[in-house]
Amino acid sequence: MRDLAAGVRYLGRGQRWVLSHGRWFGFGLLPALVTLVLYGVVLTVLAFWTDNIAAWATPFADDWSEGWRTTLRALFAVLLWAGGLLLSVLTFTAVTLLVGDPFYEKLSEQVEESEGGCPEGVDRPLASELWISLRDSLYVLWRAMLLGVPLFFLGFVPVIGQTVIPVLGFCVSGFFLTLELTSVAMQRREIPVRERLRVLRGRKALALGFGVPLVLCFLVPFVAVLLMPGAVAGAALLVRDVTGHDDTPRHDGMANPGGVTGHDGATGPGGPAGQGGVTGPGVY
């Protein structure tokens, strides 16, 4: 529960940081606004075509009575659009970070500098940075789909499909949203995407506390734009925690000893690999 609350606090700290640094808040709005327009068009087109897609995907219902056929296809259409909406929440961040990579890199650096120093990243050409971001985002999307697709079909199961499954869907989306947002600061530390995943698996509650509220807020289109700069700032603060660069005392009185130390993942937030749960198996 403490990690869950800490995740929410990092999200709040990030929003406060950008609001107190108005220039950087405006700096981070433009990429999110451009991406919002693109996603608005896609979701609108999807909404117009859901009935046709539902009819195409359920040919076996053509011979059913009209009531059952209409009910099935209406449910399919609703779940399809809801699935598209949840997928857009996850990919919105990835696309926005890709579009605004130079913007958010500078924002993240400024946040860390204000907290007591920013690790020096490797100086790469912009094209190389964009390629790495795209490659990592596709990996994250693939991992998210491994869980998201089964959850979509489980949504058809009576009772749990309308209660438990949506909750699990928000948790999965929140976890991977946190993974995307922390990529800016973790990439600067040369932590590869698979190691980022292991690190956050070891701090699931922290990742969910940060990401799930964002997923819920991102369901409101303009809120996503307004919160994006603060989300990047908060993610930079969160990374300082999980990699051992945050001086904020933890609940055990320590300053997060044993942070991640590079590509090989020899150590993690809880100590040597395999002892703190960072590199062990996890749901995500």
pLDDT tens digit sequence for 180-207:
899 989 988 888 989 999 999 999 999 9
Give the pLDDT confidence score for residue 277 in this predicted structure.
Answer: 36
For residue 269, the model assigns a pLDDT of: 39
Indicate whether this model's pTM tops 0.75. Answer: no
Residue 252's pLDDT is 38
By three-state DSSP, how is residue 262 classified?
Answer: coil
Low-confidence stretches of the chain (pLDDT beneath 50): 247-283
Beta-ladder partners of 271: 268
Q: Which residue has the tokens 């007591």?
A: 116
Return the pLDDT at 121: 65
Spatial neighbors of 149 by CB under 8 A, at least 6 apart, are none
Give the single-character DSSP code of 119: P
Distance CA 100, CA 202 (A): 29
State residue 50's pLDDT score.
84
Q: Three-class SS of residue 267?
A: strand
> For residue range 121-173, what is the model confidence (pLDDT) as tens digits?
666 677 777 788 788 888 888 888 888 888 878 887 888 888 898 899 899 98
